[in-house]
Amino acid sequence: MSNTHFQLDRQGRLLHFLTIEGLKRHHLIEILDTAESLRGVAERRVKKLPTLHGKTVVNLFFEASTRTRTTFELAAKRLSADVLTLNIATSSAVKGESLLDTLRNIEAMQCDMFVVRHEQSGAAEFIARHVKPHIAVLNAGDGRHAHPTQAMLDVFTIRRHKPAFEALQVAIVGDILHSRVARSLIHALGILGTPDIRVIAPRTLLPVDVEKLGVRVFDNPTIGLRGVDVIVMLRLQKERMAGALLPSEREFFQCYGLTEERLALAKPDAIVMHPGPINRGVEIDSRVADGPRSVILEQVTNGIAARMAIMSITLGNHARPTGEQI
């Protein structure tokens, strides 16, 4: 049984949000439309809605992250949920308590949602299969597998600038091999009908058979960036690399870093994105990262609205009498 089906109820509604792969277009559009309706909450005098009042959201981060964790915290609080962030480094897990024991103890606190980030692929699905039926699980990144909420905030950002996915040319540049962000974004763009998705990287940073994801592969950015509408730069994930996949960061920047000269190859109104954190002078030149075509900080803002949308949809579906999970 795939986790794609496991995250849906019998009516096809989201109970968990574990992966983009295999979802339908209407699932993504529902999230995007809901995020659009919630984006203005941050501009209100009181930045809160009562949507999740009385609910408890637990951030269960086994892997370090500042941006993702804080945006999930803000998203939950803006929906009026109570938020508990578990510091794994100081939790009972380091004393030998098993993951399931940890879950059972947190469940006993009457929580309603786990937001899970873990270095092992499949961890979020494992947790979703073992929690009580009323608890929703959101994947905040698992190994190299998936980062579905990042993909949704990315396509949300793209749609606010370029709403016709069916006419877009999108280039994803950098460490494709280790990037769960790239995998989830490719799936999301494909579901939304993007006809031209390009990945640009040295061969050592490309997964085997990456073409099977429906992308065009380029190892030359001069060719790959030509005429694109969106450029998504990826962080070089040095902590995940085993062996000498790159001669040096300096050489990577010279060959693949996004400079003003390379940006000029794209369409004049192309936007530049990056999931962060940025390695300036490695993946991207500061003049581009801080330039007028960069929407990198907008991605952070949009991440709160997108995660608010996903939280409200999944917990809302748990509240309905939907019957057993499949």
Q: Is 180 annotated as a binding residue?
A: yes
The answer on 99 and 173 residing in a single domain is no
**Residue 323: inside a domain:** no
Per-residue pLDDT reduced to its tens digit, 240-255: 444 556 667 888 899 9
Range of the domain at 291: 148-296
Q: Is 235 annotated as a binding residue?
A: yes
The answer on 90 and 11 residing in a single domain is yes
The answer on 287 and 162 residing in a single domain is yes
**Residue 219: inside a domain:** yes
The average pLDDT across 295-313 equals 97
Give the pTM: 0.92
Q: Is 44 annotated as a binding residue?
A: no
**Residue 326: inside a domain:** no
Per-residue pLDDT reduced to its tens digit, 72-126: 999 999 999 999 988 665 554 555 567 788 888 888 888 999 999 988 889 899 9
Burial 298-308 (b: 16+ CB within 10 A, else e): bbbebbbbbbb
Number of domains in the chain: 2
The average pLDDT across 300-318 equals 95
The answer on 279 and 182 residing in a single domain is yes
**Residue 325: inside a domain:** no
The answer on 168 and 121 residing in a single domain is no
The answer on 267 and 167 residing in a single domain is yes
**Residue 274: inside a domain:** yes
**Residue 173: inside a domain:** yes
CATH of the domain at 108: 3.40.50.1370
Q: Is 95 annotated as a binding residue?
A: yes
Q: Is 301 annotated as a binding residue?
A: no
Burial 80-92 (b: 16+ CB within 10 A, else e): ebebeebebeeee
The answer on 254 and 313 residing in a single domain is no
Q: Is 67 annotated as a binding residue?
A: yes
The answer on 311 and 218 residing in a single domain is no
What's the pLDDT at 64? 77
DSSP sequence for 171-237: EEES--TT-HHHHHHHHHHHHTT-SEEEEE--GGGS-TTGGGGS-EEES-HHHHTTT-SEEEE----
Per-residue pLDDT reduced to its tens digit, 16-42: 999 999 899 999 999 999 999 999 887
**Residue 14: inside a domain:** yes
The answer on 309 and 281 residing in a single domain is no
**Residue 324: inside a domain:** no
Q: Is 118 annotated as a binding residue?
A: no
The answer on 158 and 107 residing in a single domain is no
Per-residue pLDDT reduced to its tens digit, 157-172: 999 999 999 999 999 9
Q: Is 276 annotated as a binding residue?
A: yes
Dihedral over alpha carbons 291, 285, 164, 205 (to 10 degrees): -170
Q: What is the mean pLDDT of the chain?
A: 90
The answer on 313 and 285 residing in a single domain is no
pLDDT at 322 over 60: no
Q: Is 183 annotated as a binding residue?
A: no
Per-residue pLDDT reduced to its tens digit, 51-70: 999 999 999 988 878 889 99
The answer on 169 and 272 residing in a single domain is yes
pLDDT confidence tier of residue 199, bands split at 50, 70 and 90:
very high
Q: Is 323 annotated as a binding residue?
A: no
Of the candidates 297, 298, 230, 300, the residue with the CA atom closest to the CA atom of residue 258: 230
Q: What is the 3-state secondary structure (H, E, C) of 102-131?
A: HHHHHHCCCCCEEEEEECCCCHHHHHHHHC
